[in-house]
Amino acid sequence: MTKPDLKDPAIYPHWARETLRYCDTDAQGHINNVAFSVFCETGRVHFLLEPGRPLTPPGTFMVIARLVLDFIGEIHWPGEVRIGTGVTKIGRSSFHLGQGVFVGERCVATADSVLVLADQETRRSTPLPDDLRGKLEGMMISVAV
């Protein structure tokens, strides 16, 4: 299966924005790498909990089981980043999100994460219900062939 080019802003079905904070700058004068994981969190949270379209079914919650973050370029304060998010794979009880962090059209980081649906009572993974699976399929990142 061909992997999507997460550096391409045209592939993302969902977007969030984050304002850069001065407190996230480091001794090198750029935004610290730790802030990049927060940008990805912002994109995930907006994707999962967008008002009017929350993806998490009642009685469940999402657990981030894996996060791989690739740093591509520097960011400097002040400014803003845009975070593109989309589904790259759907499993039985989990799904993968692909993300890109952009300053303008320039990609400065990409991320791949695995989110697992868990039952609030048992605290164990639970299969994705059909309605959630359908919503996730509608947010898939398309791969150019």
Greatest Cα pair distance, the chain, in angstroms, is 49
Element (H, E) at 36: helix 33-49
Which domains does the chain show, CATH number per domain? 9-137 (3.10.129.10)
Element (H, E) at 144: none
pLDDT attached to residue 2: 78
Q: Tens digit of pLDDT for each residue in 56-102?
A: 889 999 999 999 999 999 999 999 999 999 999 999 999 999 999 99
Q: Which has the closest alpha carbon to 58: 139, 129, 136?
A: 129
Q: Tens digit of pLDDT for each residue in 60-70?
A: 999 999 999 99
First to last CA, the chain: 10
Q: Tens digit of pLDDT for each residue in 23-33?
A: 999 988 899 99
Percent of the chain at pLDDT exceeding 90: 86
Residue 87 near residue 26 (C-beta atoms within 8 A): no
Question: What is the C-alpha to C-alpha distance for residues 41 and 36, in angstroms, rounded to an integer?
Answer: 9
Task: Write phi, then psi, for 100 (nearest 5 degrees).
Answer: -130, 140
- pTM, rounded to two decimals: 0.93
| Chain mean position to CA 11 | 13
